[in-house]
Chains A and B, each alone.
Chain A
Amino acid sequence: MPETTSRSCRGPALYERLAVLSRIVAAVAGGYVLTSLCTIVAARYLPMGRADAVMTATMSSFAIFTCAVIWVFAARSAWRAWAGLAVPALLLALLLALVAWGGSVAA
């Protein structure tokens, strides 16, 4: 593959190291959480039978995870990487929370 990120002889600055570490955490943990939320929402709301929705959602989850990881490392900065995961994750979580709240109020 082409050259990896070029580094100075002294090694990358501390800030840059932390940024990389932060991206790794974002990719592995953040990516997994976002993927899980996508899977849950898809499993519940895909317009098909429940079992079919669950299977479709679960089978697609690895593609979503891969895209999330690619995004994290393609983003221009670590902040943007986190934001790109956090915004959709919060929206999905909000949707689930609202439905749960609506359900409990209706009951």
Chain B
Amino acid sequence: MKEGLRQSMAWLHTWSGLLVCWVLLLVFAGGSASYFKDEISFWMMPELHATEREPVPQAQAIERAVGYLQQQAPQAERWFITLPTARSTALRVGWIGAAPKDGPVGSTRSRFQSELLDARTGSKLAVRQTRGGEFLYRLHFDLHYMPVQWARWIVSLCALFMLVAIVSGVITHKRIFKDFFTFRPRKGQRSWLDAHNATAVLALPFHLMITYTGLVTLMFMIMPWGIQSAYRDQGGESAFFEEVFPSGAGRGKPAGVAAPLVALAPLAAQAQQHWQGVPPALVVVNHPGDAKATVVIRREKTATLSYLQPAMVFNGLTGVEQATVGEQPSPTAVTRGVLYGLHLGHFADPWLRVLFFLCGLSGYLMVATGALLWGVKTRQKQAKAIAQGARPGFGLRLVEALNLGVIAGLPIAFASYFWANRLLPLDLAQRAQMEINVFFAAWALAAVLAQCRPSLGMWRVQLGMGAVLFIGIPVLNILTTHSHLGVTLLLGRGPWPVAGFDLLMLALGAALALAERLLARRQRKPGARPSAPRAAQARGIEETA
């Protein structure tokens, strides 16, 4: 680090990026998929595809939900009613069961249950057990098989490294504008660098935004010291949260006296009127059936960037309005709301979400090409020794195998998850978890094979496997559902999200197949260097161009 600034920053960029790149690939893949969380969940519940997609009147949906909850969870601590929207037409009810009188109380999360209802009839929808897109969404910051808190720290740390890598990468960059238009194919290391630059610079604002806003979503965990210090004598963290994100009258304690719940539909109508016609999205009932019941109604996300939405609080017995909450959030709360909202992209219409998704994919390719570039460079440095029969260094071998197992292995894992959704028996115990286990089993297999044999041939096998699995998904859909492309697209009956999903699977499969073909051509070419494949970079240009 005795050389100039650019060299130091290049060093920092290389190592801060390389150290965390494999976690970042997972985060980018899961996060990109999360832009279509609802659509993925819908695709993964084919039982819903045939149901009527005409929206049910809001009042009717609320009545049906209350009817179901009164029957199934009359003793619950809280009820949640998520009303149907354009993106997901089913009615979701959830509840936190009452804490057991004897024995440990347990976390509220462990007592939470939820069901999908037919908004028309109020009966439970007979859908297969699946976590759907929710799993992929959680995966990108909660990982899996580990305590949530650990996972979030790991992901936050990786995001901080990524932020450092982005800034140091920009500093090292001499000709950021010119490089964007530069691509020199078939020039080995040079091509990898160009591909890395193109994918990075193309979506640089997105990469910077998504990394920073991702950190903002977890900022109270990563950097709690401001709150701790400023609110030490003023009630601590909970006082801060109540001040910035008021929950209204507070939940209070139940009276322990039974009392009938007020009709909720008129309250929802009143709230909608108060919000100039913007409908509510969520109805929460605290202590249903108790004399101290309260009803909180939250507004639907409108076309505002901020994810913060106002709410109204009503008395659960009389229906008298108790408070309006979050009508005028402070400027800083809105700022954070906008940063948070930008990350989630809930404000975006479908085509903007497609753009976000493509930017996310370019992030995946940016990280992938960067990681591959390190391997290519390091192999070149060791070329002389390797030519004389020496084994590649341990670090090089590890990185090359991890690159293969993650870059080519992750697509296999994602595709296997969708295959499992269609193929696992419907009455399998723990079915939703089994789908997730298939995801990780497939990935583990790919990663282990990559460690055993990190060769060009293995790249071809895994890319080819990913291609076959992805292209197979629409085919599998023909065999296992009545909402395959023949119906959704050729007959034009929809549902369009299902058709879009199938088409995207075909596109991803085609991209992987193309990468595999390019590798095959390269392998046949005499004198080809058996190093990390160059074809994936062609894939990068294909997908991001």
Contact = CB atoms under 8 A, between A and B. Distances in A.
Interface of A: 1-5, 19-20, 23, 35-36, 39-40, 42-44, 48-59, 61-63, 65-66, 69-70, 73-74
Interface in B196-227: 196, 212, 215-216, 219-220, 222-223, 225-227
B229 A43 contact: yes
Q: Give the dominant DSSP class at B's interface.
A: helix
B48 interface: no
Interface stretch (B330-338, B447-455, B502-510, B537-545): B330-338
B102 interface: no
Nearest to A24: B15
> What 9 pairs across the A-B complex have the smallest Cβ distances?
A43-B226, A55-B332, A52-B332, A39-B226, A40-B229, A43-B230, A73-B12, A36-B225, A57-B226
Contacts of A54: 226-227, 230-231, 240
5 contacts: A51-B240, A53-B226, A55-B335, A73-B8, A73-B12
Contacts, number: 126
Given A57-B226, A59-B332, A74-B8, 15 more contacts: A1-B10, A1-B373, A2-B7, A4-B11, A5-B3, A39-B225, A51-B333, A54-B227, A54-B230, A56-B332, A58-B226, A61-B222, A69-B12, A70-B164, A73-B1
A5 B6 CA distance: 10
A42 B226 contact: yes
A54 B172 CA distance: 34
Given A1-B169, A39-B226, A43-B227, A58 B220 contact: yes
B230 A53 contact: yes
Nearest to B378: A4
A54 B138 CA distance: 28
A60 B100 CA distance: 43
Contacts of B16: 69
Contacts of A73: 1, 8-9, 11-12, 168
Contacts of B14: 1, 4
B330 A62 contact: no
Most chain B CB within 10 A, of A42, A69, A73, is at: A73
